[in-house]
Amino acid sequence: MCLILFAWKAAPGAPLVVAANRDEWFGRSARPAHFWPDHPSILAGRDEQAGGTWLGVTRGGRFAALTNYRSPEQKRGDAPSRGELVAAFLAGADSAEGFVRGLHTRAAAYNGFSLLACDGERMFFYSNYGEGPAEIEPGVHGLANHLLDTPWPKVVKGKDGLATLIHQPFDAARYLALMDDSVPAEERDLPSSGTDAESERRLSSLRILAGDYGTRCTSVLRFTDTGTGEFSERTYHRDGRTVGEVHHLFKLEK
């Protein structure tokens, strides 16, 4: 997952609104969002290679999502899958704070990551490249392949778009359209994240179209004050075509 935009306790009538793009190699097999047979409360996509997920929710109102921290020179081939972290939080009962504080003691075993964890009451951010667990304040936030709210062009652009949408009547199609933006950033605005200039340019758009690697799916999530969860996901082919959509409407079980 390479871009997660979210409004935490900032959207009228909705404590959490999320719009996210998952970027990954198209050759890595994954299932679209579904309720997991082995954990019926979890709604998430699933990585069929390692069994974890990049973003998911539960009927109990938990939410978690993860991005890889872009640090190619420090990537290890023997590290455990980072997707297991999202799955572990969703399947567990720890508070968001308790989970990220426990993770802090073992996070060095993983390649670089940034994690969001919400238990319905509080929301936390943690990265094994950051300074430690941090509670997220109400507002509009963005996470790409760095730390929370790092002002990469895609984060700034996406947050501006989300800040406008949350004050309009909710329509998942508008959020899907926000994330379907493949215009790269201006060269002068490109970050320096350890890769070459051409790669920085190709990776700078909200939606990435780059052949064998790119945006695999877009997810839109909303939890409402009336206790409803809404989850929409659009899946893409490597050539950019939409190849599937799923929509789930469910009651939150407090």
Q: What is the mean pLDDT of residues 155-176?
A: 98
Number of domains composing the chain: 1
How much is the pLDDT for 193?
80
CATH of the domain at 25: 3.60.60.10
- Measure Cα distances from 223 to 103, 151, 189, 208 in Å: 26, 26, 34, 27
Q: What's the predicted TM-score (pTM) here?
A: 0.96
The parent domain of residue 221 ranges over: 3-251
> pLDDT by residue (tens digit) across 196-219?
889 999 999 999 999 999 999 999
CA–CA dist 84, 81 (Å, integer): 6
> pLDDT by residue (tens digit) across 36-56?
999 999 999 999 999 999 999
Alpha helices in 132-249 (DSSP H): 153-165, 172-179, 197-202
How much is the pLDDT for 194?
75
Length reported for the chain: 254
Taking the alpha carbons of 92, 98, 104, 106 in that order, is the dihedral positive or negative? negative
